Amino acid sequence: MATTTATRHSRRTSKTLLEPTGKELETYEAPKLVIPVDPGRDHIQGDPKAILTLVEYGDYQCPFCGAAYPEVKKVQKELGSKLRFVFRNFPLTNVHEFAQVAAETAEAANVQGKFWEMHDFLYEHQRTLGDNSVALGYAKKIGLDTQKFEREISQHVYQKRIKEDFMGGVRSGVNGTPTFYANGVRHDGPAEAEAIIESLRAKS
Protein backbone atom coordinates (compact mmCIF):
# COMPACT_ATOMS: atom_id res chain seq x y z
CA MET A 1 0.00 0.00 0.00
CA ALA A 2 2.67 2.38 1.10
CA THR A 3 4.51 1.77 -2.13
CA THR A 4 1.53 2.74 -4.19
CA THR A 5 1.39 6.05 -2.37
CA ALA A 6 5.04 6.61 -3.18
CA THR A 7 4.37 6.11 -6.87
CA ARG A 8 1.42 8.43 -6.85
CA HIS A 9 3.48 11.33 -5.55
CA SER A 10 6.27 10.72 -8.00
CA ARG A 11 5.98 13.97 -9.93
CA ARG A 12 5.90 16.27 -6.96
CA THR A 13 9.59 16.26 -6.25
CA SER A 14 10.80 18.93 -3.93
CA LYS A 15 14.41 19.94 -3.69
CA THR A 16 14.48 20.70 -0.04
CA LEU A 17 11.98 18.37 1.51
CA LEU A 18 12.00 14.64 1.34
CA GLU A 19 8.85 13.36 -0.22
CA PRO A 20 8.47 9.95 -1.76
CA THR A 21 9.80 10.52 -5.25
CA GLY A 22 9.33 7.08 -6.68
CA LYS A 23 13.02 7.20 -7.55
CA GLU A 24 13.75 4.83 -4.68
CA LEU A 25 11.72 2.28 -6.57
CA GLU A 26 13.21 2.90 -9.99
CA THR A 27 16.67 2.29 -8.65
CA TYR A 28 15.57 -0.43 -6.28
CA GLU A 29 17.26 -3.71 -6.74
CA ALA A 30 16.43 -6.61 -4.44
CA PRO A 31 19.44 -8.07 -2.64
CA LYS A 32 21.00 -11.25 -3.96
CA LEU A 33 21.81 -14.46 -2.18
CA VAL A 34 25.55 -14.23 -1.57
CA ILE A 35 26.02 -17.74 -0.17
CA PRO A 36 25.41 -20.12 -3.09
CA VAL A 37 23.45 -23.31 -2.50
CA ASP A 38 25.90 -26.02 -1.48
CA PRO A 39 24.54 -29.56 -1.74
CA GLY A 40 27.33 -30.69 0.59
CA ARG A 41 26.11 -28.45 3.37
CA ASP A 42 22.60 -27.21 2.70
CA HIS A 43 19.33 -28.93 3.51
CA ILE A 44 17.80 -29.49 0.08
CA GLN A 45 14.40 -30.95 -0.67
CA GLY A 46 13.70 -32.02 -4.23
CA ASP A 47 16.05 -32.65 -7.14
CA PRO A 48 19.42 -31.03 -6.25
CA LYS A 49 19.82 -30.15 -9.94
CA ALA A 50 16.32 -28.71 -10.41
CA ILE A 51 16.08 -25.59 -12.58
CA LEU A 52 14.25 -23.50 -9.96
CA THR A 53 15.62 -22.81 -6.49
CA LEU A 54 13.74 -21.48 -3.50
CA VAL A 55 15.81 -20.67 -0.43
CA GLU A 56 14.11 -19.86 2.88
CA TYR A 57 15.77 -18.26 5.87
CA GLY A 58 13.47 -19.26 8.69
CA ASP A 59 12.92 -19.31 12.42
CA TYR A 60 10.95 -22.22 13.89
CA GLN A 61 9.22 -20.04 16.46
CA CYS A 62 8.25 -17.21 14.13
CA PRO A 63 4.48 -17.24 13.52
CA PHE A 64 4.99 -15.79 10.04
CA CYS A 65 7.27 -18.71 9.17
CA GLY A 66 4.62 -21.03 10.57
CA ALA A 67 2.09 -19.41 8.26
CA ALA A 68 4.49 -19.67 5.30
CA TYR A 69 5.15 -23.38 5.92
CA PRO A 70 2.00 -24.67 4.15
CA GLU A 71 2.57 -22.09 1.39
CA VAL A 72 5.98 -23.60 0.66
CA LYS A 73 4.33 -27.02 0.50
CA LYS A 74 1.90 -25.63 -2.08
CA VAL A 75 4.77 -24.21 -4.12
CA GLN A 76 6.53 -27.58 -4.03
CA LYS A 77 3.38 -29.40 -5.09
CA GLU A 78 2.76 -27.00 -7.96
CA LEU A 79 6.30 -26.99 -9.34
CA GLY A 80 7.18 -30.63 -8.62
CA SER A 81 10.53 -31.80 -9.93
CA LYS A 82 11.35 -28.39 -11.36
CA LEU A 83 12.00 -27.05 -7.86
CA ARG A 84 14.59 -27.58 -5.17
CA PHE A 85 13.81 -26.06 -1.77
CA VAL A 86 16.57 -25.07 0.64
CA PHE A 87 16.07 -24.23 4.29
CA ARG A 88 18.60 -22.18 6.27
CA ASN A 89 18.45 -21.12 9.90
CA PHE A 90 17.72 -17.57 10.94
CA PRO A 91 16.66 -17.78 14.59
CA LEU A 92 15.76 -14.37 16.01
CA THR A 93 16.77 -15.24 19.51
CA ASN A 94 16.17 -11.78 20.97
CA VAL A 95 12.45 -12.05 20.28
CA HIS A 96 11.96 -15.83 20.13
CA GLU A 97 13.33 -17.61 23.17
CA PHE A 98 12.88 -21.14 21.83
CA ALA A 99 14.09 -20.52 18.27
CA GLN A 100 17.70 -21.47 18.90
CA VAL A 101 16.91 -24.79 20.59
CA ALA A 102 14.43 -25.60 17.83
CA ALA A 103 17.08 -24.95 15.17
CA GLU A 104 19.54 -27.14 17.07
CA THR A 105 16.87 -29.85 17.31
CA ALA A 106 16.40 -29.94 13.55
CA GLU A 107 20.16 -30.01 13.00
CA ALA A 108 20.53 -32.88 15.47
CA ALA A 109 17.90 -34.80 13.49
CA ASN A 110 19.75 -33.91 10.29
CA VAL A 111 22.92 -35.80 11.22
CA GLN A 112 20.73 -38.86 11.60
CA GLY A 113 19.18 -38.30 8.18
CA LYS A 114 15.83 -36.92 9.37
CA PHE A 115 16.12 -33.19 8.87
CA TRP A 116 12.93 -32.66 6.88
CA GLU A 117 10.88 -34.87 9.15
CA MET A 118 11.93 -32.77 12.14
CA HIS A 119 11.66 -29.48 10.23
CA ASP A 120 8.06 -30.29 9.34
CA PHE A 121 7.25 -31.55 12.83
CA LEU A 122 8.56 -28.34 14.44
CA TYR A 123 6.48 -26.14 12.15
CA GLU A 124 3.43 -28.30 12.70
CA HIS A 125 3.89 -28.11 16.48
CA GLN A 126 5.04 -24.53 16.95
CA ARG A 127 3.00 -24.08 20.11
CA THR A 128 4.84 -26.85 21.89
CA LEU A 129 8.32 -25.41 21.28
CA GLY A 130 8.96 -24.58 24.94
CA ASP A 131 8.61 -28.25 25.87
CA ASN A 132 11.61 -30.25 24.65
CA SER A 133 9.98 -33.57 25.47
CA VAL A 134 7.60 -33.15 22.52
CA ALA A 135 10.39 -33.15 19.92
CA LEU A 136 12.17 -35.89 21.85
CA GLY A 137 9.06 -38.07 21.70
CA TYR A 138 8.90 -37.53 17.96
CA ALA A 139 12.63 -38.31 17.61
CA LYS A 140 11.99 -41.63 19.30
CA LYS A 141 9.00 -42.30 17.07
CA ILE A 142 10.98 -41.81 13.88
CA GLY A 143 13.75 -44.03 15.15
CA LEU A 144 16.51 -41.58 16.04
CA ASP A 145 19.25 -42.46 18.50
CA THR A 146 17.72 -40.29 21.20
CA GLN A 147 20.76 -40.36 23.47
CA LYS A 148 22.96 -38.88 20.77
CA PHE A 149 20.16 -36.53 19.75
CA GLU A 150 19.67 -35.17 23.27
CA ARG A 151 23.38 -34.92 23.98
CA GLU A 152 24.06 -32.93 20.82
CA ILE A 153 21.28 -30.49 21.61
CA SER A 154 22.35 -29.95 25.21
CA GLN A 155 25.99 -29.50 24.16
CA HIS A 156 25.01 -27.01 21.42
CA VAL A 157 27.00 -28.96 18.83
CA TYR A 158 25.30 -27.14 15.93
CA GLN A 159 25.42 -23.64 17.33
CA LYS A 160 28.29 -22.64 15.04
CA ARG A 161 26.56 -23.89 11.91
CA ILE A 162 23.38 -22.02 12.83
CA LYS A 163 25.36 -18.85 13.43
CA GLU A 164 26.99 -19.27 10.01
CA ASP A 165 23.58 -19.62 8.41
CA PHE A 166 22.47 -16.48 10.23
CA MET A 167 25.43 -14.32 9.19
CA GLY A 168 25.26 -15.57 5.60
CA GLY A 169 21.62 -14.49 5.66
CA VAL A 170 22.47 -11.05 7.01
CA ARG A 171 25.04 -10.59 4.22
CA SER A 172 22.41 -11.60 1.67
CA GLY A 173 19.97 -9.00 2.95
CA VAL A 174 17.71 -11.15 5.13
CA ASN A 175 15.60 -8.54 6.92
CA GLY A 176 13.24 -10.63 8.99
CA THR A 177 11.69 -14.05 8.90
CA PRO A 178 10.76 -15.72 6.73
CA THR A 179 12.92 -14.33 3.92
CA PHE A 180 12.79 -16.16 0.61
CA TYR A 181 15.15 -16.07 -2.36
CA ALA A 182 13.71 -17.03 -5.71
CA ASN A 183 16.58 -18.24 -7.90
CA GLY A 184 19.03 -16.19 -5.88
CA VAL A 185 17.08 -12.92 -5.66
CA ARG A 186 15.24 -11.79 -2.54
CA HIS A 187 11.50 -12.21 -2.89
CA ASP A 188 9.98 -9.03 -1.46
CA GLY A 189 6.37 -9.99 -2.09
CA PRO A 190 4.06 -11.78 0.32
CA ALA A 191 5.07 -15.18 1.68
CA GLU A 192 2.22 -16.81 -0.22
CA ALA A 193 2.40 -19.64 -2.72
CA GLU A 194 1.09 -17.66 -5.68
CA ALA A 195 3.51 -14.77 -5.21
CA ILE A 196 6.47 -17.08 -4.60
CA ILE A 197 5.69 -19.10 -7.73
CA GLU A 198 5.44 -15.88 -9.73
CA SER A 199 8.87 -14.80 -8.48
CA LEU A 200 10.38 -18.20 -9.24
CA ARG A 201 9.02 -18.21 -12.78
CA ALA A 202 9.93 -14.57 -13.44
CA LYS A 203 13.52 -15.03 -12.40
CA SER A 204 14.19 -18.42 -13.94
Partner 1 sequence: MKTISLQRNRRKRISQTRAQRVGGKSARRNPSILNLGRKAPNFSLNSTPDQKVSLKDFRGQPVILAFYPADWSPVCTDQLSLYAMVMPEFKKFNAELIAISVDNIWSHLAFAKDRKLNFPVLADFEPKGEVSRKYGAFKEKIGESARALFVIDGEGIVRWSHLSPDGVNPGAEGILTALDQLAKPNA
Q: How far is the CB of 77 from partner 1 (least distance, A)?
A: 21
Contact predicate 121/127, CB 8 Å: no
Reading phi first (left if > 0) and then psi (alpha if -120 to 50, else beta), residue 4 is in alpha
Comparison of 20 and 184: residue with beta carbon closer to partner 1? 20
Question: Binding residues for partner 1, per CB under 8 A?
Answer: 1-7, 9, 13, 17-31, 62-64, 92-95, 166-167, 170-177, 188-190, 195, 202
What are the φ/ψ torsions at residue 125 (nearest 5 degrees)? -130, 40
Q: How far is the CB of 67 from partner 1 (least distance, A)?
A: 10
Q: How far is the CB of 124 from partner 1 (least distance, A)?
A: 19
Whole-angstrom Cα distance, residue 17 to residue 55? 39
Comparison of 139 and 197: residue with beta carbon closer to partner 1? 197
Comparison of 64 and 81: residue with beta carbon closer to partner 1? 64
Comparison of 22 and 184: residue with beta carbon closer to partner 1? 22
Comparison of 7 and 155: residue with beta carbon closer to partner 1? 7
Q: How far is the CB of 75 from partner 1 (least distance, A)?
A: 15
Q: List Cβ<8 Å contacts ≥24 apart for 115-124.
A: 115/43, 116/43, 116/45, 117/142, 118/142, 119/43, 119/87, 120/69, 122/60, 123/60, 123/65, 123/66, 123/69, 124/69
DSSP, res 187: E
DSSP, res 173: T
Q: How far is the CB of 48 from partner 1 (least distance, A)?
A: 27
